[in-house]
Each structure stands twice: as structure tokens, then as C-alpha cells.
């Protein structure tokens, strides 16, 4: 029992700093699981995934200070809204055709590498490879 507690504490200590840099819940969980798995095998992957997901969820991709400024940017750009008939939430995968995806400007460094679009009147950040919604920018 004591070994398990020490191992669990060590895993959290090892994976927490690594997962702090993860962005958003999906990215944080994936990165935390990968790094925890490399550090300590399957148990490390579980602990790293949870810690990374929580850390990423608290931080989000765009920080609280950047959200209003980014939202204003999208409004100024007059990005058209795509109508999506399926349930819309974080994790929803948008179609490849019919949606126009835009690169996040470099001035929003924390979201670099992600795309954005407007769906049903809401600005969303999208993981470019999967087209999965990772954050609403309200």
C-alpha cells in the first residue's frame, strides 16, 4: 500500500509540470497520458491523463484575458457562421466540407497551431487534424 501511494505521488509530481503546458482538456489529457505513460507505464498514463485534462481545462487554449480580444477580432473579420444541426459541444467533430477554417493569428500565441471558425453564431477553436472543437470562445 505504501509503495502504491509513493508511486502515485511520484507520478503526479512527474507529470504535473509537463501537463501544465498542455492546452485545453483534450490536448492536456492526451499529452498528460502520453508523458505519464512514458514516465511510468500504464498507471502513469492514467494519472497523467487526468492531471493533464484538469490542468488544460482550467487554463483553456485562450486565456481569460485573450478571449474577449479574440472574439472582437473574429467579429471584425466578419467570419460567416456555419449552421451545424448536430449537438454542439467541446469534442464535436465538424465536417471537412462546407466549413471554412481559419488560422489563429500569431498574436494569440497560446492558440498557435489551432484553427477557428464560427458555428451556429459561436466562435470555436478547432484542432486542425481532427476538426474537433476544443474550446468555445465566448
pLDDT block averages, 10 residues each, the chain of length 138: 52 44 54 64 61 52 89 95 94 95 91 94 96 94
Residues 80 and 128 in one domain: yes
Name the domain boundary from 59, 81, 104.
Answer: 59
Total domains, the chain = 2
Q: Residue 64: what pLDDT?
A: 85
Listing DSSP states for the chain in one string gives -HHHHHHHHHHHHHHHHHHHT--HHHHHHHHHHHHHHHHHHHHHHHHHHHHHHHHHHHH-SS-TTHHHHHHHHHHHHTPPEEP--S---TTPBPPSSS---EEPPTTSGGGTT-EEEEETTEEEEEETTTTEEEEE--
Q: Residue 109: what pLDDT?
A: 84
pTM value is: 0.58
Could you say which DSSP state residue 76 is in?
Answer: H
| Strand boundaries in the chain, DSSP class E | 81-82, 102-103, 115-119, 122-127, 132-136
Residues 76 and 109 in one domain: yes
Q: Residue 110: what pLDDT?
A: 85
Residues 33 and 73 in one domain: no
Q: Residue 65: what pLDDT?
A: 85
For residue 78, the enclosing domain spans 66-136
Q: How far is residue 39's CA from residue 28's CA, in Å, rounded to a whole number?
A: 16
Amino acid at each position: 500500500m505504501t509503495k502504491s501511494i509513493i508511486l502515485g505521488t511520484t507520478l503526479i509530481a512527474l507529470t504535473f509540470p509537463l501537463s501544465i503546458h498542455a492546452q485545453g482538456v483534450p490536448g492536456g489529457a492526451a499529452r498528460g497520458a502520453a508523458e505519464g505513460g512514458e514516465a511510468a507505464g500504464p498507471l502513469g498514463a492514467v494519472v497523467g491523463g487526468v492531471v493533464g485534462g484538469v490542468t488544460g481545462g482550467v487554463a483553456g487554449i485562450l486565456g481569460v484575458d485573450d478571449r474577449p480580444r479574440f472574439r472582437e477580432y473574429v467579429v471584425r473579420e466578419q467570419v460567416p457562421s456555419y449552421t451545424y444541426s448536430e449537438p454542439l459541444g467541446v469534442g464535436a467533430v465538424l465536417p471537412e466540407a462546407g466549413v471554412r477554417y481559419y488560422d489563429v493569428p500569431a498574436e494569440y500565441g497560446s492558440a498557435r497551431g489551432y484553427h477557428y471558425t464560427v458555428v451556429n453564431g459561436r466562435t470555436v477553436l478547432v484542432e486542425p487534424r481532427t476538426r474537433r472543437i476544443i474550446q468555445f470562445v465566448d
